Amino acid sequence: MIKRVVIYFVMIMILVSVVKGGVQKDEQPLSKERLLKNLTSEKRKKLSKSEDKKYIVILIENINKIGVDFKITPQDETQLRNAGATPKLLAAIRSNYRGVESVPLEEPRRPAQLIFSPSLEGQPITFQEIVEWLKLKATEASIIGAVYQRKVDFNLDSNLQRILADEGGTKYLFEAIERSPSNSLKSKMSVELSDRAKDLINQAQYSEAGPLLEKAIDYDSNNSSAYRLRAELGVYQNMSIEVVSSDMSQALRLGGEASINVIYDCGGKTICPGRLFISKGRVRFQPDSSSDWELAASAIKEVKPGGNRYPKDRGGFIIVTKRMASNSSLTYNFQAYRSMNNLRDLIVSLINNNL
């Protein structure tokens, strides 16, 4: 029994030494290269399954203690996962970046009378303010502190980077600016991203549009257009009806519209493609080849599934009946352009719930 305990203790010590052997002696944050070396080392390859689990646990503990010196990208994540990183290890890497926010920047010493300290209070910072601070010999660390505290109201493009670099700005300042958009700038960026995603959807470039909409919502969770477009994208990509319903409902809750591509009975044997928009108190149809028309809630008598004009495997029917002055009714036959389970019922429900 004693012999078994001693062997187990020795095994644990070996694992600890294997992991710690890959960490710099001065305990600087781990680089990606060092992590990859740890994950693909010959010593690790010889470990049993249970020993390897302990190896990863110890590596996670080291990362939690000293951090990493890089922000993980999707490409990094794939590379580390291929090298044997577990989900818990990747999570530790994401949450332990030791960058400019946590590592003080070394600044060249300047005469005290030349150093200007930016205010940490006030409105979001303009580009011109940062230029002026650099000209006044404010330390970059103090400018970065103000940027993180007050945020910025501009997008940093390559031209603006060049101007700041000419005044002494470095990559640390650029990174702080890119990570600190103000709320108003976030809203503007969110709208720009949704507009770009809309163009991509219209070009059927669905895989490129998805990430833009995710980022648009991340920048501004009140952007109703982003939710509407993500719901449309969900239909194109055959996502679950629950996902599509959630995004359509959120767009409506935020005062926007839900929309769906449809075909419409134009009369006789003619069918017209277009888009149906649903919002609070109204239904709007935008045909591809003629002017929009709109039905207010007071003009709608009922909305229900039904009709036999189009094949049922195309997503079902939506019938909107309009009240006429003579108490007669006019029936509009719609059908979802894309086939998707329960999509017809969802549209009927959204219209009825928002009349």
Residues 68 and 32 in one domain: yes
The continuous run of DSSP H or E covering 236 comes out as helix 224-236
Write the single-letter amino acid at 329.
S
Residues 145 and 123 in one domain: yes
Range with the lowest mean pLDDT among 4-13, 30-39, 288-297? 4-13
Last residue of a domain, one of 205, 237, 253: 253
Residues 73 and 38 in one domain: yes
pLDDT tens digit string along 173-222? 999 999 999 988 999 999 999 999 999 998 999 999 999 999 999 999 99
Residues 172 and 197 in one domain: no
The pTM of this model reads: 0.58
Average of per-residue pLDDT across 259-266 = 81
- CA distance to 165, 199, 304, 335, per residue, from 311 (Å): 63, 30, 17, 9
Separation between Cα atoms, residue 307 and residue 317, nearest integer Å: 6
pLDDT tens digit string along 301-343? 888 887 555 555 455 667 767 766 666 777 777 888 777 778 8
pLDDT tens digit string along 47-72? 888 888 888 888 898 888 888 888 88
Domain membership of residue 104 (yes or no) is no
Give the domain CATH number at 208: 1.25.40.10
- Domain residues for the domain of 280 are 258-353
Could you list the beta-strand ranges (E) of 254-317.
258-267, 270-279, 282-287, 293-296, 300-304
Q: Hey, is 53 helix, strand or coil? A: helix
CA torsion angle 336 341 343 344 (round to 10)? 70
Domain membership of residue 105 (yes or no) is no
Residues 314 and 295 in one domain: yes
Q: Tokens representing 16?
A: 């600890």
Find, among 188, 149, 156, the residue nearest to 175 by Cα: 156
Task: Output the average pLDDT for the chain.
Answer: 81
Residues 293 and 209 in one domain: no
Go through 36-49 and write b for each residue having 16 or more CB atoms within 10 A of its CB, e for each that does not.
bebbebeebeebee
Last residue of a domain, one of 253, 273, 292: 253
- Are 251 and 231 in contact by the 8 Å Cβ rule? The answer is yes
State residue 115's pLDDT score. Answer: 61
For residue 39, pLDDT over 80 is answered with: yes
Separation between Cα atoms, residue 207 and residue 306, nearest integer Å: 34
Find, among 41, 47, 48, the residue nearest to 23 by Cα: 41
For residue 23, pLDDT over 50 is answered with: no
Provide the domain count of the chain.
Answer: 4
* Count of C-beta atoms within a 10 Å radius of residue 151: 19
State residue 323's pLDDT score. Answer: 66
Domain membership of residue 68 (yes or no) is yes
